[in-house]
Structure 1
Amino acid sequence: MTHEIRPSTEEDFFGWLPLFEAYCRFYETELDDAKALIVWNWIRDEHDPLQAAFAVDDEGKPVGLVHYRVVPDSLSATKGMYLDDLYVADEARGSGLGRSLIEYVHARAAEIGSAGVSWITAADNEYAQRIYDEVATRTSWVTYEMHA
């Protein structure tokens, strides 16, 4: 089975939603209708930095998704990409789609003048980390969060 990686379109909501729901479930985060519509509207808003792309199968069904955005890097005075969310449906795992989606974002970063892409993942997401360790360098940065 072959797959294509392509940017999202206005018509992709019902292909995106089950993948985003599964991604939220994986990270034990509730997704209600309001939150789903907010995120989808961010993706579709040309003035919002969040973008999405899909891995689609031979029938055009989305089986993987990536959310990403352009971010400034003040230390290098360049712009790069931040990969926010990456998910591949269970039936498509092990086919190289996660790597292909990361490479897609990396190519978008090169188009804006920087080949830099960064992301975080959960410490216990060891399956994904095997791929990440092959395509990128694990950094020594520590992530902090401050909640409202």
Structure 2
Amino acid sequence: MSTSNVRPLQAKDKERWTELYAAYARFYNSTQNGDMREQVWSWLMDDTNELQGLVATDKKKNVVGIAHFRPFLRPLAASKGAFLDDLFVDPSHRGTGAAEELINEIKRLAQENGWSIVRWVTADNNYRARAVYDRMARKTDWLTYDIQL
């Protein structure tokens, strides 16, 4: 049973969002600095930008999880989908249903917008998160490639 509520990210969440997003970057051993977080925050606070943010809150309304998502075009399916870029729950609140609630809200928003799919990637060794994802979605056969520029 969930102990979380999900709502859109708000300007008042900046300090806690910054803490959680920095922890997310550390989890993935990603080099990230304050300027980079400021850039992402500005995208999230700009209504004309496609990136959207959600937060999960506990019973005391404290932010315990974050998610960022955006629409993407699916030419082969002639549709749009939702791409879940980032999902992080404070380690002390894992197992509370916060991750599931964040994903379910993105699913609800995708359905509301007529999008055909919710998609995301995770690290192969992210076993705890994958246990949640395996319950909620179908693992695909696709491999991911990057060209660093």
TM-score bracket relative to the smaller structure: over 0.9
Higher relative CO (CA 8 A, sep ≥ 6), structure 1 or 2? 2
Q: Is the 8 A contact 1:57 1:63 kept in 2?
A: yes
What is aligned with 1:19?
20
Q: By how many angstroms is 1:84 displaced? A: 0.3
Q: Is the 8 A contact 1:67 1:83 kept in 2?
A: yes
Aligned AA (1:77): A
Measure the CA separation in 1 of the matches of 2:136 and 2:3: 21
Aligned AA (1:70): P
What is aligned with 1:96?
97
Q: Is the 8 A contact 2:4 2:101 kept in 1?
A: no
Measure the CA separation in 2 of the matches of 1:80 and 1:66: 16
Can you give the 5+ residue segments of structure 1 that lack an aligned partner in the other structure? none
Q: Which moved more, 1:65-74 or 1:1-10?
A: 1-10
Q: Is the 8 A contact 1:3 1:58 kept in 2?
A: yes
Q: By how many angstroms is 1:2 displaced? A: 3.3
What is aligned with 1:123?
124
1:135 aligns with 2:128: no
Q: Is the 8 A contact 2:79 2:116 kept in 1?
A: no
Specify whether residues 73 and 59 from structure 1 end up closer, same or farther in structure 2 by C-alpha distance, changes over 3 A only: same
Q: By how many angstroms is 1:115 displaced? A: 4.4
Aligned AA (2:39): I
Measure the CA separation in 1 of the matches of 2:10 and 2:128: 29
Give the match's secondary structure for 1:75.
Answer: helix
Measure the CA separation in 2 of the matches of 1:83 and 1:112: 15
Give the match's secondary structure for 1:143.
Answer: coil
Q: Is the 8 A contact 1:79 1:112 kept in 2?
A: no
Measure the CA separation in 2 of the matches of 1:59 and 1:95: 14
If the length of structure 2 is used for normalisation, what is the TM-score? 0.95
Give the match's secondary structure for 2:86.
Answer: strand
Kindly report which structure 2 residues correspond to 1:72-87, keeping only aligned pairs within 5 A, or say none: 72-87=73-88
Q: Which moved more, 1:132-141 or 1:28-37?
A: 28-37
What is aligned with 1:147?
148
Q: Is the 8 A contact 1:10 1:44 kept in 2?
A: yes
Q: Is the 8 A contact 1:106 1:115 kept in 2?
A: no
Can you give the 5+ residue segments of structure 2 that lack an aligned partner in the other structure? none
Paired residue total: 148
Percent sequence identity over matched residues? Answer: 36
RMSD of aligned residue pairs (Cα, Å) = 1.2
Q: Deviations over 1:9-61 (max 9, x none)?
A: 12221121111011001001132110010000011111211111000112221
Give the match's secondary structure for 1:66.
Answer: strand
Measure the CA separation in 2 of the matches of 1:34 and 1:135: 34
